[in-house]
Amino acid sequence: MDMTSLKQTSRRIGTNITCILSAGMAGSVRRIMKERKGNLGKDATSLYMLPSPISSHPGTMMNNQLGVPLRIPLSEEKIDQRLTQISQQFRHLFNSTVLLGITAFHRAGALISGSLQKDLRIPNFGSLVHSNLSAFKENPFELFGNRVELLVPICGLQQRHCSIEIISISYIGKMGIAITTDKALLSGPEELTMHMSDMFRTDLLETSTNISIN
């Protein structure tokens, strides 16, 4: 994936690369569903993973993760409208108190689970998992005071509950994307690559001059 084109598009539109990747993936899935005569009248649910805003201690083995539900507008036909809706959701997410509310809910669930000594689970949480991790030279990842030089994204799917998992990592100027999908949706990496490349090349990048995020 050409990062130069993505960065240029991001600056021109006025949104971040996470929103562009989410819109591109939504368009790719929508195109696959359309080819297979699927129902395009319903949207998908995305579980966006990000570090918890509270109770993250640098001495832990890994950052405390928080799952935030987002709507993926598969029912929207126009790419510019999908990107606008996704960008507005991210903007609302990071400028509201919803993160604190969700964190409090998860902490309460953990306390109840620990008190009852029983693992409490939500059986069905959505159809897409997306995690975006970023680190820079002035603020690298550290484990027990040691700088992490290599990040390996590990993708896993929960059977019958999630059809796509995406992990994009931007680490000291380098970007990697790991995608795991259910074979019922994508038969192999070739089909995913074809749809993603076609979406970014013919739809998103070429129409970016007409997209404006307010």
CB 200, CB 179: distance < 8 Å:
no
Within 13 Å, how many C-alpha atoms sit on residue 127's CB side?
13
pLDDT one-digit tens code per residue, 7-65? 777 777 777 777 877 787 788 778 877 877 777 877 777 777 665 554 444 444 444 56
pLDDT at 145: 65
Q: What is the pLDDT of residues 77-97, one digit of tens each?
A: 888 888 888 888 888 877 777
Say if residue 76's pLDDT is above 70: yes
Stretch among 102-111, 148-157, 182-191 having the lowest mean pLDDT: 148-157
Asked if residue 211 has pLDDT above 60, the reply is no
Phi/psi-derived region of residue 110, left when phi > 0, alpha when psi is between -120 and 50, beta in every other case: alpha
* Alpha-carbon gap, residue 47 to 127, rounded angstroms: 8
What span, in angstroms and rounded, lies between the C-alpha atoms of 15 and 213? 7
* pLDDT over 80 (residue 212): no
pLDDT score for 83: 84
- Length of the chain, please? 214
Task: Summarize pLDDT for 154-180 with one digit per residue, the tens.
Answer: 566 555 556 677 776 666 666 667 777
- pTM exceeds 0.95 for this model: no
User: Residue 39 contacts by C-beta under 8 Å, 6 or more apart in sequence?
Assistant: 33
Task: Please check the confidence at residue 213 and state whether its pLDDT lies above 50.
Answer: no
